Chain A
Amino acid sequence: MKVHEYQAKALLAQFGIPVPRGKVAYTPAEARGIAAELGCKVVIKAQVYAGGRGKAGGIKLANTPEEAEKAARDLIGTRLVTHQTGPEGVPVSKVLVEEASDVERELYLSILIDSTTKLPLMMASEAGGVEIEQVAETTPEKIFKAYIYPGIGFEPFQGRKLAYGMNLSVNQVREAPKLMEGLYELLMTKDCSLAEINPLAVTVDGRLLALDAKVNFDDNALFRRKDIQELRDVEQEDPLEVQAREWGISNYVRMDGNIGCMVNGAGLAMAVNDLIQYCGGSAANFLDIGTLNTTDRVVNSFKMFKADSRVKAVLINIFGGMARVDVIAKGIVEAYQQMDIDFPVVVRLAGTNVDEGNRILAESGIDLIEAKDFYDGAYKAVEAAKGATK
């Protein structure tokens, strides 16, 4: 799960990491008020779940409260298109108004769980303000790493090592380890999957300051992080994906094509989308229906396909294991009883209780396109989408 920059910074501050003074504004008038309160030059930053805001015009400088109001007016209510969003962009409904800082250098600091060592890994670099992947590619010697052992915790020597790596001054080397320990504590106590400060600024007067922050959370741990769950901003998410979650389909990702897919299992669902492309088509979504013993999610998947105007054909590919094929078949029949299905539906069933599932579909008299195997299903769905009259 993602959160906004202003929420990420509030969390950093909670763990003792210095952030610029500022507040979030929902209206231009509020932005003006906050700028007046701060009494200095301010930065107006669009709050969206996407990077690349600066280049896309989502960050503006304002010398006076009036300028702040104007900048906020230019942003709030628009949609911001960055290299990380689609061409439709993301809505801007609030801006962060914070004091502008005089920056001497821009550094990089982050922490995540490293999958190779299975340990929290803190990375620091003096090459901040750009994407770390780029630094890793061009100047890997500028990235310094510290692995943190959970039983020991973050040690001051690790902080010094990273601080020297970033070429900090003597005073800053004293300050930095505390900041870094705060970042480690944030990761572990809030179950973050990533906490990144980029840039971490060295101000002209020598202070360290988190100018921008990105914090992502482990979806698996949200059950025990109610405070984090409350930060979710559904407005920033794809409306179809929000709808899917409301209907109990948690593993739904919108894709660019026109074939609606319903599959059980994440790997199989990815492979189905790949196979559709191999056959010359394109999936409208990734949908892992998971394991179920009721027909609700099958019916709701059909509701999703109805709600998605791009869908020209549907491919259902189920290999029953924990999920029972007969239950899926009953769900398909229910969906046809409840709604007007005006697109061709290709069905491939295999695995647990497949004979019973096929019998249910055959007896229902529903006009489905039967597929004999994995490839046949994808091929027929692509053909059906091409020939669809809808």
Chain B
Amino acid sequence: MSILIDEKTALLVQGITGGEGSFHAQRCMEYGTKVVAGVTPGKGGTQHLGVPVFDSVERAIADAGANASLMFVPPAFAADGILEAIDAGMPLIVCITEGIPVTDMVKVHSYLKERPTRLIGPNCPGVISPGKCKAGIMVGEIHRPGSVGVVSRSGTLTYDVVAQLTSLGIGQSTSVGIGGDPLPGSTFVDILRLFEEDEDTKAVVLIGEIGGTLEQEAAEFIRSEMTKPVVAFIAGSTAPPGRRMGHAGAIITGTAGKASEKIKALSAAGAIIAANPAEVGLTTKGVLPKP
């Protein structure tokens, strides 16, 4: 099994006719993802990459049966695109867009509350359930089907960790990038809960970083509700305070944002901390039951 996406996922790509949207929709298709539609307002009725393009998310759901959306809408219009998809009742939105203003995300979250949509991202590499479905921009080839769940705030660091796992013969159930923004649609806790409930996930790798308190919240969940082993690495031990380290959310303001505080919380909650980012694979191997 897997979480969030699988063979039954019928993917809509919002912004499919743009450069990035087009490139990655194609790569998702090559991976085996069922891409059923695209949305670009004003281009409804046309075809792109062999799938129908609609003017609205509502039409893409009604006419093409889309049940998940992958978003490549530019930052100035992305929040509007997310709101449209929530309004249309889209069950899952994966937003890749980097650079959405925080006040726009405040609006998105206030609309999202009480509605059944799950939002992943923004500013994330997306989600992949190896061998089944890819809704994102990650390199498909480094993944293998298996039983380790991966959840991360980072993109390329996750690729490295996944490549470590795969090279050790450890496959992944699903790898989820929750993104590097300060107000992510889904948190570590949201994804950990799904992995905890997923029968085929035996262990979870969590890749956090400086800034915010998502890792501390994850620690509390791990302590109180998680029965599966969690291996964690927190990036940014050497990051200076008050500086935005690339990701909008990766900035230490106050004590809680420091890597050391997050490591302390996760460790106290029973997570196994990888000593350095190159040892996450080996550390994970150590917690898996011997075959």
Chain A contact surface mostly: mixed
A267 with B276: CB separation less than 8 A: no
B238 with A277: CB separation less than 8 A: yes
Asked, given contacts A115-B182, A268-B160, whether A251 binds B246 with beta carbons under 8 Å apart, the answer is yes
CB distance from A223 to the nearest CB of B (A): 7
Query: Which B residues touch A69, using CB under 8 A?
Result: none
Query: Which A residues touch B210, using CB under 8 A?
Result: 270
Greatest chain B CB density within 10 A among A282, A288, A319 is at A319
Asked whether B106 is an interface residue with its Cβ less than 8 Å from the other chain, the reply is yes
Asked whether A198 is an interface residue with its Cβ less than 8 Å from the other chain, the reply is no
Asked, given contacts A253-B240, A270-B250, A283-B238, whether A149 binds B110 with beta carbons under 8 Å apart, the answer is yes
Give the size range of A's interface with the partner.
35 or more
Bound form: Cα–Cα A271–B137 in Å? 21
Q: Which of B105, B237, B243 contacts A253 (CB 8 A)?
A: B243
Asked whether B194 is an interface residue with its Cβ less than 8 Å from the other chain, the reply is no
Q: Within residues 241 to 274 of chain B, which ones have a CB less than 8 A from any CB in chain A?
A: 242-250, 254-255, 259
Query: Which B residues touch A150, using CB under 8 A?
Result: 106-107, 110
The residue of chain B having its C-beta at the shortest distance from the C-beta of A50 within the complex is B242
A220 with B75: CB separation less than 8 A: yes
B139 with A373: CB separation less than 8 A: no
B103 with A188: CB separation less than 8 A: yes
A218 with B102: CB separation less than 8 A: yes
CB distance from B279 to the nearest CB of A (A): 8
Asked, given contacts A267-B155, A267-B207, A268-B156, whether A373 binds B235 with beta carbons under 8 Å apart, the answer is no
Bound form: Cα–Cα A118–B103 in Å? 9
Q: Which of B106, B217, B235 contacts A267 (CB 8 A)?
A: B235
B159 with A221: CB separation less than 8 A: no
Bound form: Cα–Cα A270–B5 in Å? 29
Asked, given contacts A149-B110, A268-B156, whether A118 binds B246 with beta carbons under 8 Å apart, the answer is no
Asked whether B239 is an interface residue with its Cβ less than 8 Å from the other chain, the reply is yes
A288 with B106: CB separation less than 8 A: no
The residue of chain A having its C-beta at the shortest distance from the C-beta of B247 within the complex is A266
A275 with B213: CB separation less than 8 A: no
Query: Which B residues touch A223, using CB under 8 A?
Result: 75-76, 99
Asked whether A269 is an interface residue with its Cβ less than 8 Å from the other chain, the reply is yes
Task: Indicate with 1 or 0, residue by residue over A365-390, a CB within 8 angstroms of chain B CB atoms.
Answer: 00000000111001000000000000
B110 with A286: CB separation less than 8 A: no
Task: Indicate with 1 or 0, residue by residue over B140-153, a CB within 8 angstroms of chain A CB atoms.
Answer: 00100000000011
23 inter-chain pairs at a CB distance below 8 angstroms, sorted by A residue, are A113-B103, A116-B217, A118-B109, A119-B110, A149-B110, A218-B102, A220-B75, A220-B99, A253-B240, A265-B157, A266-B209, A266-B246, A267-B153, A267-B155, A267-B207, A271-B160, A275-B278, A278-B276, A319-B159, A319-B160, A321-B156, A321-B159, A374-B160
- Known interface pairs A264-B156, A266-B154; 18 further A-B residue pairs with C-beta atoms within 8 A, sorted by A's residue number: A150-B106, A193-B102, A218-B103, A218-B248, A224-B101, A253-B239, A253-B243, A263-B156, A266-B246, A266-B247, A267-B157, A269-B246, A271-B235, A273-B238, A275-B278, A276-B238, A319-B160, A378-B278
**4 shortest interchain CB distances as A-B pairs:** A267-B154, A266-B246, A265-B156, A221-B101
